[in-house]
Chain A
């Protein structure tokens, strides 16, 4: 037991001390935050491209009612019919909006141009035309648009989950986001850390130190020590990332949002209402923020850590067995398929099928079978998974990694002493069957 601890210690320290580990630990959160900031910045700047649209209004309803927006400038066209306008448009590289006289009956106008119009411009034109038409129709029906606006009801729906503790606000959006992100993270990490285990085994084998080591410790102890040591490296990295990211994010948040939140807090209800009215989507934003508060972060993080660890132990044992069977990394490919396939399959299934049918029989089984459950269960989680299913899945995952570790250890103990022998699946089977 003492020897396993020594192996764990070495595997852990030798990796954590590396410069690349420090670099990854600090760089990833910075890059992550930087990327979010960049995306936010670019989106807020928006497309600053302005589309000029020349309007030919044969109906006479719209011409003066178009308002220039941030992305679209409206102009009255010089031409009066479509043929002329099209010719001019071709020459000037402009967009021509042709509104026929019978637009109200037809419900159709035409935007002609050399190239495809930007989606923003298209939406702008459509919404402005609809607005104008609606007002006109309301007027025709004898309804004052102002009256209508004042009686516009606004209902937002808060989903309440009925649990034993009572009613609880949930926000599925935030929950989905976090769970899906966890599933992707597990998928990536299983490969990243599994490959580290494999490379570690190959390193020991090619540098020939393995025979020195296993004259002191049992192969099983060496394998397990390596797997646990690298697993701890992974967990350390996660924790550091979480701490660093939240620190960075809260620092940045204070800088950007601090003042605004303060002023929001000090506002009286009347003002609040006013603001809510002004900003059309405000209720949803507040709901989302409230939802974030109600996301059971601790629950998800716990489940995530359990499935990361379980999945990691399950797959890294197989990675170790592959590493023991080859002499260098290029030979690993032929054995990688059985490891890659179930993971890739679940990954694809997770976002194409499970997310849409979280409670189907197939989804259930995928989240129960140990080889697929780490990813599948994370995706099912936001839709509510009964405790017994979670317990069953985790119990099977434990059984699963004990099984793969056992299988892998039997291959490993023979494989690490086989130099220069090209292994194939038949060979592995033979190693597996050797008596201890």
Chain B
């Protein structure tokens, strides 16, 4: 769907993007992650053709990005906004037509979405008369009204109350099921981790990691498990695992362990079962956030 190749964006005093490449597969949900100021918005603006890169190219469906692609992209900027004094209906029609829809199509699409989001009564209202949450619903509809193939959402859930955030999330997932490719850009990595198929981590203008979420997390698996059990026994040095952490609580005990080379979790269980009664076993896989922290630390130490 989208291939970003060796993009460099230079501002007067700093380099916003330094040789960034990434690929977004058609129909996937892609997370563009990184702290504030990492260069996410600069990259998104380049994809939206708001600014141009100094070096590198962007391919959209295999073609070099050009103005004909604008109508196939829907963009929800981090800085949201609508005309305060314009009626919602007129505003929607205007934005839809700017994205290349005919007046008739725009009207039909508006009708569909206003019904779907239960906002029919808002048509004649002005933005300044709506609550923040309502405004954001309107803004979201404006983003997807032209049925874009690629939807780019910059910090999509910031500012939404939990109810609306859930509604919007469901809509996004439905659009994805219908075939749209989604790019999330956010610094709150935990909020999109479960949603994304693939991610790219950006820090200080450089991409530091990308790939499928599953693959990344697998590659960061460290044979670490967490076992909860009851019963009292003294676990000392043993040939199967190292103990990372041992906590006692009223409900029972919690053990964090790291398997030794060549051992499986079954070996550990086989050793423990005769001694204690096992309540749960989970594999400890680092979250993307933890991976990110580790990565950034590593880079800063270099």
Q: Are A and B a genuine interacting pair, yes or no?
A: yes
Q: Is A27 an interface residue (CB 8 A)?
A: no
How far does the Cβ of B47 sit from chain A's closest Cβ, in whole Å? Answer: 10
Q: Is A265 an interface residue (CB 8 A)?
A: no
A216 with B86: CB separation less than 8 A: no
A3 with B50: CB separation less than 8 A: no
A204: chain B residues within 8 A (beta carbon): 81, 83
Select from chain A the residue with minimum beta-carbon distance to B85: A14
Q: Is A101 an interface residue (CB 8 A)?
A: no
CA distance A14 to B94 in the complex (A): 11
A211 with B81: CB separation less than 8 A: yes
Q: Is A210 an interface residue (CB 8 A)?
A: yes
Select from chain B the residue with minimum beta-carbon distance to A414: B51
CA distance A419 to B84 in the complex (A): 18
Report B27-52 CB contacts with A as 1/0, cut-off 8 Å: 00000000000000000010011111
B73 with A208: CB separation less than 8 A: no
B86 with A14: CB separation less than 8 A: yes
Q: Is the interface of B mostly helix, strand, loop or mixed?
A: loop
Question: Among the listed B48, B50, B54, B70, which residue makes an inter-chain contact with A435, where contact means beta carbons less than 8 Å apart?
Answer: B54
Report A399-430 CB contacts with B as 1/0, cut-off 8 Å: 00000000000000000010100000000001
> A1-43: which have CB < 8 Å to B?
3, 6-7, 10, 14
Question: Among the listed A3, A10, A215, A417, which residue makes an inter-chain contact with B75, where contact means beta carbons less than 8 Å apart?
Answer: A215
B79 with A211: CB separation less than 8 A: yes
B67: chain A residues within 8 A (beta carbon): 218
B84 with A212: CB separation less than 8 A: no
How far does the Cβ of A204 sit from chain B's closest Cβ, in whole Å? Answer: 8
> B69-109: which have CB < 8 Å to A?
70-71, 73, 75, 77, 79-86, 94-95, 97-99
A215 with B83: CB separation less than 8 A: no
How far does the Cβ of B268 sit from chain A's closest Cβ, in whole Å? Answer: 54
B79: chain A residues within 8 A (beta carbon): 208, 211, 419
Q: Is B163 an interface residue (CB 8 A)?
A: no
Q: Which of A207, A210, A419, A430 has the most CB of B within 10 A?
A: A207
> B1-19: which have CB < 8 Å to A?
12
B12: chain A residues within 8 A (beta carbon): 430
Question: Among the listed B54, B81, B85, B97, which residue makes an inter-chain contact with A6, where contact means beta carbons less than 8 Å apart?
Answer: B97
Select from chain B the residue with minimum beta-carbon distance to A217: B98
Q: A216-B70, A216-B95 are in contact. Are A209 and B48 (CB under 8 A)?
A: no
B142: chain A residues within 8 A (beta carbon): 212
B83 with A216: CB separation less than 8 A: no
CA distance A211 to B52 in the complex (A): 15
Question: Among the listed A10, A209, A215, which residue makes an inter-chain contact with B50, where contact means beta carbons less than 8 Å apart?
Answer: A215
B73 with A10: CB separation less than 8 A: no
A213 with B52: CB separation less than 8 A: no
A207 with B84: CB separation less than 8 A: yes
A215 with B81: CB separation less than 8 A: no
CA distance A70 to B48 in the complex (A): 80
Q: Is A214 an interface residue (CB 8 A)?
A: yes
B75 with A436: CB separation less than 8 A: no
A208: chain B residues within 8 A (beta carbon): 77, 79-81
> Which residues from chain B sit less than 8 Å from chain A, CB to CB?
12, 45, 48-52, 54, 67, 70-71, 73, 75, 77, 79-86, 94-95, 97-99, 139, 142
> Which residues from chain A sit less than 8 Å from chain B, CB to CB?
3, 6-7, 10, 14, 203-204, 207-218, 417, 419, 430, 435-436
Additional A-B contacts beyond A6-B97, A217-B98, A435-B54 (20; CB < 8 A): A3-B98, A6-B94, A14-B83, A203-B84, A204-B81, A207-B81, A208-B77, A208-B80, A211-B75, A211-B79, A212-B81, A212-B82, A212-B142, A215-B49, A215-B73, A215-B75, A216-B95, A417-B51, A419-B79, A435-B52
